[in-house]
Structure formats: C-alpha cells, structure tokens
Homo-oligomer: A and B are copies of this chain.
Amino acid sequence: MKALRLHSYWRSSASWRVRVGLHFKGLPFEYVAVHLLKDGGQHHSEAYRALNPMRTLPTLEWTEEDGSQRRLSQSLAILEYLEARFPAPALLPKDTYLQAKARMLAEMVNSGIQPLQNLSVMQRIKSELKADDKAWSAYWNARGLEALEAAVKPLAGRYSVGDEVSFADICLVPQLYGARRFGVDLTPYPTLLRIEAACNELPAFQAAHPDRQPDAAPA
C-alpha cells in the first residue's frame, strides 16, 4: 500500500477510528478534508458519491505496488483490512474468542450507537420531524453506553479487552467525545472513562484526535 489518502472530517467519529488505526500501524497518509456542513455537505457532492455512494466518511484510497488503484469505505472494514495487511502492532487479540469479543464491543458502538446519531440522522430528526435532535442523540448514547459499560466490565484490563488496544477501544474513544457533545452524563460509566484515559496516553490516539486534524475548527 502506498500513496494512502484518507477522506476525513475532523469530528467524524468513523474517520477518527481509521485515523487511530493508521497512526497505530505507522502508516503515513494524506489527509483529504471533506466538510460535512460546507456547501450543503461536501459528502453529498457528485465527486464524493462516485468514491463512496453511501456518502459516509471515511474513504481510504491507495495504490498497490503494481499500480492498481484501491478504495475502501466503512471504518471497521478498513480496520480489518489494515489488520490483515499489517498484523503488527496488532489491533485484535490473538485468542479467537477474545477477538470476537473485541469485535462485539466495536459493533455495539459501530452499529448500536453511532448510526442513530450521525449527522444525516440528526438533520432528518430536526428538519423533517421537527424534533430535538440533540435529545434524540443523547438518548441513544446513554442507552448504548450503559450496555457497553456492562459488556466491557468482565473483559477489561487496561483497555476494553485485557491489556492490549483493540478495535473496541478505537470505537469507544470517539463515541465518548460525541456523547459529551450531546450533554450525556458519563459518570455512570467509570470503566469506559478509565479505558478512555488509558487510550489518550497513546501517541496514535493523540495524533488522531479531532483537534489535531488540518480541518479542525475548535469553537
């Protein structure tokens, strides 16, 4: 893999996950900013839809040694691919059952929380249903994080699954950032907060943080 280009938005939690993965594996990449709000949402542009018809972030593009062009979207599919191509340092436990548990925790965020409060959904809640999009998002975050706290507790060491970083942590950290933005009280989730603090000590998580991205526009 060479000439990696990540189509990303600083605050997109799925983009954030892949940024952690790339930094963790030591893979340099070009950052291609796609603004989710400017121009009516640059992810809705024809050019971006040609890359990713689902209009989601991120999309990773790269060139193989033989010159062939590659493209992939969906954060967990990208992380699985990076794990297969660059197994060290690992982002999944060696034990097959613990691997499954790491994927389960990752999916609890990836399919169980994040989709219900992504920007497209919030926009529709607000514009079509004339409802409180922030309250909607806070509800699903609290409901999901309560379940995640219960599911993580018997598995956690320093990180979500034992003492090694995994997909579960990569999904957790951006989700907690989102939950705070929606005003969710995180004190009922001490295990998740402890794991987040451990992750935040790692250079890959630091480098992937929204505020460190070229398109960051902190308030």
Contacts and interface: CB of A to CB of B under 8 A. Distances in A.
Interface string A109-127: 0111011100001001100
B108 A81 contact: no
A104 B74 contact: yes
Copies per assembly: 2
Given A77-B104, A125-B129, A147-B53, A84 B110 contact: no
A146 to B, nearest CB: 7
Interface stretch (A92-100, A173-181, A189-197, A204-212): A92-100
Given A84-B99, A100-B72, A111 B110 contact: yes
Interface of A: 53-56, 70, 72-74, 76-78, 80-81, 84-85, 96-97, 99-101, 103-104, 106-108, 110-112, 114-116, 121, 124-125, 129, 131, 136, 139, 144, 146-148, 150-151
